[in-house]
Structure 1
Amino acid sequence: MTTLLIVDDDPKVREVISIYFSQIGYTIVQAQHGVEALEKLKAGQIDVAIVDVMMPYLNGIDVVKEIRRRYNLPVILLTAKGQIEDKEQGYRAGTDDYVVKPVDPKELQFRVETLLRRYDTTPTESLQMGPLTIHPKRYEIQIGEQTLLFPLKEFELLSFLVANQGQVLTREQIIEEVWDLDFAGDERTVDVHIKRLRARLSQLAPELHIKTVRGVGYSIEVSK
């Protein structure tokens, strides 16, 4: 049975999420602030955490940093509409996903299930290609002596290409893997991110090439 940690100083939010997820078979652990959340994490096995950004004693960003330092589990941050500018800070801290309040429990379920599947399949080891080393769990890219932080979607796109090097990935496969429930555009979104990645790689690792296979999709290769 999957154990879900809900961290929010609003008891009504905790109650709504708790009732919904307990009804579909999850074990629920609650915490009303960040300090209590870390205590709950120490006390027992937690499989996934849903954490509010704004809390007393220890805010959600700092909770995510501590989770990333000590544990390997998916984290979703909750934020009010007026706090959406905190997204970048949250992703840099290591959150896997973001949900804006008021929370739709069904959507939250989809996101939790997607992250649990990814954690089952995401490699814990680094990905290697040419001069490039990708550390999936730290969201870091290493090229030579440089350690780089790419924008999240570019990082996930590059990781997906490298993890499947030698294969041609369709735009549909890329959208499903990288954007999933967040996708609200069309296939041109993939093309735009590919263009940005090509520009970065041309400066940082020119021996790596993202190849367009006309009418199909993209693959990545090392020049010989």
Structure 2
Amino acid sequence: MRILIVEDEIKAAQYLKEALMQSGYQAESSHDGIDGLFLAQSGTFDLIILDVMLPGIDGWSFIGRLRERSQVPVLFLTAKDAVADRVKGLELGADDYLVKPFSYAELLARVRTLLRRNPVRQQEIFELADLQVDALKRRATRGGQRIDLTNKEFALLHLLLQHKGEVMSRSQIASQVWDMNFDSDTNVVDVAIRRLRAKIDDDFTVKLIQTVRGMGYRIEDGF
């Protein structure tokens, strides 16, 4: 389970990150609302722990924009204990609310409860440059043109988009798309990448799929 902590108090964020990792979770932190929102919209987190008072954008604006694209569970943290503030957070889409100061034991109990009762709704629409992919309908278009993909090509594109900007190694791709252990003598990933490029990049000026020599592949906005 991956948890994102968006908290501008650096020491508090570091404490929560280390404590959650010791409890068996993967945790990442951000100290700014705008940066935190960018990470949250990547669709790779199972829960977000969100402070209300943040630089960049506050927690209210953060969750309002997040809920336009994601239903990932959100636990609000705030020093404000007024009922109106708790109600506002819940109405905007928060799943739970914890008032500072709090004990880590209480926070951990709430985290576990949210993760049990709120399966994450996976991101459905991915947009990159003029590429749009609807994961639910399994439809891809670029520049308004429909792109016909095989099941494996779609799975490969979907995987790259889920990790937009990250380098995916051949072994990671092979295990997640083909459910196979990577063999250095097998070029199935390279062949699939070439076929996918032919469909989404070759006829367009801006190229999206990059080869990172000696490491693997990534997809990002133009080069």
1:118/1:45 Cα in 2 relative to 1: closer, same or farther (>3 Å)? Answer: same
> SS of 1:102's equivalent?
coil
Shift of 1:42: 3.5
Give yes or no for contact 1:29–1:40 (8 Å, CA) kept in 2: no
Distance 1:84 1:11 in 2: 27
Unaligned segments of structure 2, at least 5 residues: 122-223
**% identical equivalent positions:** 36
The one-letter code of the counterpart of 2:116 is R
Distance 2:72 2:41 in 1: 13
Hey, what does 1:95 align to over in structure 2? 94
Task: State the TM-score, normalizing by the size of structure 2.
Answer: 0.51
The one-letter code of the counterpart of 1:95 is A
Unaligned segments of structure 1, at least 5 residues: 123-224
Give yes or no for contact 1:53–1:60 (8 Å, CA) kept in 2: yes
Hey, what does 2:119 align to over in structure 1? 120
Q: Deviations 1:2-34 (Å, cap 9, x if unpaired)?
A: 100000110111012111100011111111121
Taking the TM superposition and a 5 Å limit, the aligned residue runs for 1:85-164 are 85-120=84-119
Shift of 1:62: 1.2
Hey, what does 2:3 align to over in structure 1? 4
Distance 1:119 1:82 in 2: 25
Structure showing the higher helix proportion among its residues: 1
> SS of 2:105's equivalent?
helix
Hey, what does 1:32 align to over in structure 2? 31
Shift of 1:63: 1.1
Distance 1:15 1:121 in 2: 25
1:11/1:83 Cα in 2 relative to 1: closer, same or farther (>3 Å)? Answer: farther
Correspondence 1:62 to 2:61:
yes
Hey, what does 1:73 align to over in structure 2? 72
Hey, what does 1:16 align to over in structure 2? 15
The one-letter code of the counterpart of 1:80 is A
Name the larger-Rg structure: 2
Give yes or no for contact 1:4–1:26 (8 Å, CA) kept in 2: yes
> SS of 1:36's equivalent?
helix
Alpha-carbon RMSD across the aligned residues, in angstroms, is 2.0
Distance 2:41 2:52 in 1: 20
1:85/1:17 Cα in 2 relative to 1: closer, same or farther (>3 Å)? Answer: same
Hey, what does 2:47 align to over in structure 1? 48
Distance 2:120 2:30 in 1: 28
Distance 2:58 2:37 in 1: 12
Task: State the TM-score, normalizing by the size of structure 1.
Answer: 0.50
Shift of 1:83: 5.2
Distance 1:11 1:121 in 2: 27
1:26/1:32 Cα in 2 relative to 1: closer, same or farther (>3 Å)? Answer: same
Give yes or no for contact 1:53–1:59 (8 Å, CA) kept in 2: yes
Distance 1:76 1:37 in 2: 14
Shift of 1:54: 0.8
